[in-house]
Amino acid sequence: MSPALKKCAYHVPDMTYMAVRPSNGMTWPRVLRMQLKHEPEVVILGNIPDRETAEIAIEAANRQQLILSGSRADSASLAVTQLLRLSGNPLDLAASLRLVCTQRLAPRLCPDCREAYPVEAGLQNRLAKCSAWTGLSYDTAATTGAGSH
Ligand SMILES: [Zn+2]
């Protein structure tokens, strides 16, 4: 695997990271081309920010290269719209795109001061063994590494 990222949050063993730094000439298209020369099994892009990067990624995907990319779109359908806007040829995009999925990050309640939330019996049966909680503060440690609120 060969990830290209602006910032690397986690280092995974056996991956060759390439940093995108436009100030040093390491633009997204250049880094992607450099990655593809090594014919990695999987290329991971932090983002597809421009038409040139999109065209290179789509062309590689149409040669059976697996390209995974993040997107800052608000939904899966908007991610497709964004790629359509960037790509020069919608037919090439359609031929190369296999999956678009989305995730939302939800804040976690502070585990120290959350309180059990009473749930009516019918809903509790549907929740099975899950618990409902309420609270006023969120667990910042989960996302920042810092202590709770
Ligand atoms: Zn707390």
Q: List the CATH number of the domain containing 81.
A: 3.40.50.300
pTM: 0.67
> What separation in Å is there between the alpha carbon of 107 and the centre of ligand 1?
13
* Nearest CA-CA partner of 137 in 149, 146, 123: 149
140 Cβ neighbours under 8 A, 6+ residues apart? 146, 147, 148, 149
Average pLDDT value over all residues in the chain: 85
Determine, yes or no, domain membership for 106.
no
- Check residue 140 and give its pLDDT: 67
115 lies in the same domain as 59: no
Q: Give the relative orientation of helices 51-61 and 76-86 as an angle to the nearest 10 degrees.
A: 100
> What separation in Å is there between the alpha carbon of 147 and the centre of ligand 1?
10
> What separation in Å is there between the alpha carbon of 105 and the centre of ligand 1?
20
pLDDT of 147 strictly over 60 = no
- Check residue 80 and give its pLDDT: 94
Range of the domain at 30: 2-96
Q: Which two tokens stand for residue 145?
A: 């590494």
Determine, yes or no, domain membership for 27.
yes
67 lies in the same domain as 44: yes
9 lies in the same domain as 76: yes
Determine, yes or no, domain membership for 65.
yes
* Nearest CA-CA partner of 35 in 79, 72, 5: 5
Tell me the pLDDT tens digit for each residue of 73-98.
989 999 999 999 998 789 999 999 99
66 lies in the same domain as 131: no
